[in-house]
Amino acid sequence: MKIGIFGGSFNPPHMGHINSLNTVLKKAGLDKIHVMPAVQNPLKLPVEGPTPEQRLEMVKKSLESYSQHFVADDQEIKRGGLSYTIDTIMNFRKKTAAEDLYLIMGVDNFESLNEWKDYKKILSETNLIVTTRPGFDLPADQDELPAFIKDLVADFDFNFIELTTGRNIQFLTLKDVETSSSEIRKKLRLGKPVDQFLPLGVERFIKDNNLYRPMGDRIGDFKKFTGFCANHLFEKKAIQVRAFDLTHITAPSEYTLIASGTSTRHAASLAENLILAVKEEYNVHPQSLEGVDEGRWVVIDYGSLIVHLFYDFVRQEYSLEKLWNEGKDMNLKDPFTSKALS
Structural domains of the chain in order of their starting residue, each with its CATH number: 3-172 (3.40.50.620), 217-341 (3.30.460.10)
CA 92 – CA 96 distance, rounded (Å): 6
pLDDT for 157 equals 87
Extract the runs of DSSP E, i.e. beta strands, from the chain: 3-8, 32-37, 70-72, 101-106, 127-131, 153-157, 160-163, 168-172, 239-245, 255-261, 288-290, 297-301, 305-311, 328-329
Whether 178 has a pLDDT exceeding 70, the answer reads no
Q: What percentage of residues in the chain have a pLDDT greater than 70? A: 97
pTM of the model: 0.77
- Over residues 144-164, the mean pLDDT reads 92
Whether 180 has a pLDDT exceeding 90, the answer reads no
335, 228 contact by CB (below 8 A): no
pLDDT for 342 equals 45
Whether 80 has a pLDDT exceeding 50, the answer reads yes
Whether 317 has a pLDDT exceeding 90, the answer reads no
Whether 265 has a pLDDT exceeding 80, the answer reads yes
295, 268 contact by CB (below 8 A): yes
The HSE-up count of residue 338 (CA atoms within 13 Å, CB side) is 6
Encode 233-268: b = buried (16+ Cβ within 10 Å), e = exposed: bbebebbebbbbbbeeeebebbbbbbbbbeebebbb
pLDDT for 338 equals 56
pLDDT for 42 equals 65
- Over residues 98-118, the mean pLDDT reads 94
Question: What single-letter amino acid sits at 80?
Answer: G
Q: What percentage of residues in the chain have a pLDDT greater than 90? A: 65
pLDDT for 287 equals 86
CA 335 – CA 327 distance, rounded (Å): 23
**Which residue has better confidence, 280 or 65?**
280
Alpha carbon separation from 97 to 66, 74, 211 (Å, rounded): 27, 21, 40
CA 76 to chain centre: 18
**Which residue has better confidence, 330 or 135?**
330
pLDDT for 176 equals 64
- Over residues 215-230, the mean pLDDT reads 91
